[in-house]
Amino acid sequence: MLAVFAALIVTLPVLGLLLEALKGSSGIWAHLFSTVLPVAMADTVILLAGVGIGTAVIGTTTAWLVTAYDFPGRRMLEWALLLPLAVPTYIIAYAYLDILHPIGSVQGAIRWVLGYESPRQFRLPDIRSMTGCILLLGFVLYPYVYIPTRAMFLTQSGNLVDAARTLGVSRRAVFWRVALPLARPAVAIGVALALMETLNDVGAAEFLGVRTMTVSIYTTWITRTDLPGASQIALALLLIVVALVGIERWARRKQRYATDARRSRGLAPQRVSTAKGLVFLVLGFLPILLGFVAPAIYLVTEAWKRYRFAGISPRILDEAVNTIAIATVATVVTILLGLVVAYAARIRPGKTSGALVRLSGMGYAAPGTVVAIGVLIVLAGLDRLIDRTALDWFGVSTGLLFMGSGAAVVYALTVRFLAISAGGIEAGLSRIPMSLDHASRTLGQSVTGTLRHVHLPLSKTAISAAALLVFVDCVKELPATLLLRPLNIETFATHLYGEAARGTYEEAAIAALAIVAIAILPVVLLSRVGSNRSVAG
């Protein structure tokens, strides 16, 4: 019953979104189809195509580089290539808008070297463009392709490579003829995940002047106060999300044929010359430099300047409290619901429990802006119902109980990240033999007692890892927090968005640096897991 409730919590915003979209008149639909949707759809498709190609090329190339070749610095690159995951898309845009500003240090240094004195004499192409957005998102999101593709390369049979080399095929040709075709499902899955993150982005696209459907939803709702119109655009965006999920599932259907590491050794890296190794090291370090090192150095520098000039503002401390409080409450609620869903799938396996698990993961595929609109519709309606009932029965107005208390933000974050919680806990529970369940029940323990005395102690590592991932994602989440936070409540993410929108980048450097520092935690976890697997293999 609790698992059904958890799935219902996720599906309610989608139902609310559908009902609100139906309220819109035919005139609104005609306006959207003639003015808003064509531009937004075109920009979204171009951005998705560019980011998809970029992440596929960077992620696959770096994965093959550190898997197939042995050179100085390779082990460092293996985990360092994960670091751009710690930089949210809106922070990378925020940082590079200032780094590459026409009167900034980078362009100033280039003009000094070339002998120019004024930006009118020489300036780089404006980063505020579709090309700039594609490049920046590509260098931040490529780890979504790098992680599964490298795992696929590591588990591919070494016998296949040996057979190809015996037939006279070079190591480069092995990549194109053997390794890459076998890794295509992993590449497709990674690209699909990167594209979902691209669809969820609102800050980077808006900062860089790209009018995606997500940005159009935000402007239609906030600027034009047209909630039915925003709901209709959100439904169109959901169709794209469904298509991406379908691509991901299609790519995964044959993944089992690409791995046979259980029967043979994996791919052994080939030692290369020092000169070639240095070239590989530079190529591997370039995405790290652009996707993490450069923005991180910028944030540290600007945060230090801000600290020396005015210290740490009490506003930053208040935002830290708000950020941690909202993320903590949302994490606790999400982990509890995820435990309910995962445990229901364990004790009552079947089509029903499987469907509940899939429904609980639906929110993670939907962009935060779409989830925020659905949550607003549901909770605002509930607020009105409670207020009307209290006035009729007691003559007292309750006001905005949910929308004004931060409950809406917690609800939206729970819907967004319940899939991470349920998936992580389900993976931990799957490692516990069913014989322990049977033994516990034989000794008189109930289902709840077995959970408390057997499953929770044995799966605490998986639960802790899931809680860490959910907490960090809650801290990083911008769209849902930006749209649903109570008045006069700021978090690190919303503060950064506001300062970047005003062009006062230095004011938000400390908040941006704090987000990146917190986001490094799951990257460290992923690097340790990858290292352990490599050693175990």
Task: Tell me what the mean pLDDT of segment 473-496 comes to.
Answer: 88
Look at residue 146 and give its three-state secondary structure. helix
Gap between the Cα atoms of 91 and 362, Å rounded: 26
At 537, the pLDDT band (50, 70, 90 cuts) reads very low
Mean pLDDT highest for which of 53-62, 171-180, 358-367, 503-512?
A: 53-62
Phi, psi of 186 (to 5 degrees): -65, -40
pLDDT at 258 over 50: no
Which among 149, 123, 130 has a CA at the least distance from the CA of 59? 149
At 161 the pLDDT is 64
As given in the structure block, the two tokens for residue 378 are: 């549901």
From residue 467, alpha-carbon distances to 220, 323, 339, 361 in Å are 34, 16, 11, 16
Range in 122-136, 160-174, 468-482, 500-514 the model is least confident about: 160-174
Range in 79-88, 127-136, 207-216, 355-364 the model is least confident about: 355-364
What pTM value is reported for the model? Answer: 0.83
Cα 169–Cα 147–Cα 255 angle in degrees, nearest 5: 65
Range in 120-124, 402-406, 477-481 the model is least confident about: 120-124
What pairing do the DSSP bridges indicate for beta strands 270-271 and 69-70? parallel
CB neighbour list of residue 320: distance below 8 Å, 6 or more residues apart: 492, 514
Which among 360, 362, 359, 407 has a CA at the least distance from the CA of 380? 407
Q: What is the pLDDT of residues 154-199, one digit of tens each?
A: 776 555 666 666 666 666 677 777 777 777 888 888 888 898 889 8
Considering only residues 474 and 167, tell me which one the structure prediction assigns the higher pLDDT: 474
Range in 17-26, 450-459, 528-537 the model is least confident about: 528-537
Which among 197, 235, 221, 211 has a CA at the least distance from the CA of 484? 221
Task: Tell me what the mean pLDDT of segment 51-80 comes to.
Answer: 91
pLDDT at 533 over 60: no
Considering only residues 456 and 104, tell me which one the structure prediction assigns the higher pLDDT: 456
Look at residue 300 and give its three-state secondary structure. helix
Considering only residues 336 and 357, tell me which one the structure prediction assigns the higher pLDDT: 336
At 531, the pLDDT band (50, 70, 90 cuts) reads low
Which among 450, 456, 453 has a CA at the least distance from the CA of 429? 456
CATH 2.60.40.10 fits 2-259+268-536, yes or no: no
